[in-house]
Amino acid sequence: MSTTALPKYITDKLQALRDARAAHDKNYQALTDVVTGIARCHQQKKDTEVQSQEAESQWRPLFRKLRGEMTPEPQAQHHSR
C-alpha cells in the first residue's frame, strides 16, 4: 500500500484547524474558570447571609432579655458579627 502526501493547501488548512481548536480550548477553559468563580462567589454570599441570620437570631433575644443592657456577653457576640 502506498502512502501519498496530502497537498500543501490541505495540510495548511489542517494546521489552521488545529490552531483554531487549541485557541478555542484555551478560551473555553478560561470561561469555565470564570463560571466556576462566579458560582463559588454566589455560594460564599449565601453562606455569609445564613451566618449573619444565625448571629442576628442569637444576639437580639439576649439583648432584649437584658433590656438593652450591654453586658460583656452581648458585646462579644455583637463584635464578633
Q: Taking the domains of the chain in order of start, what are their residue ranges?
A: 34-81
CB 58 within 8 A of CB 77: yes
Grid coordinates 487549541 are at which residue? 22
- The confidence band for 2, taking pLDDT boundaries of 50, 70 and 90, is low
Model confidence pLDDT, tens digit, residues 27-77: 999 999 999 999 999 999 999 999 888 877 777 777 777 776 767 776 676
Residue 23: φ, ψ to 5°: -65, -40
**Per residue, what are the HEC states of the chain?**
CCCCCCCHHHHHHHHHHHHHHHHHHHHHHHHHHHHHHHHHHHHHHHHHHHHHHHHHHHHHHHHHHCCCCCCHHHHHHHHHC
Q: Name the pTM for this structure.
A: 0.58
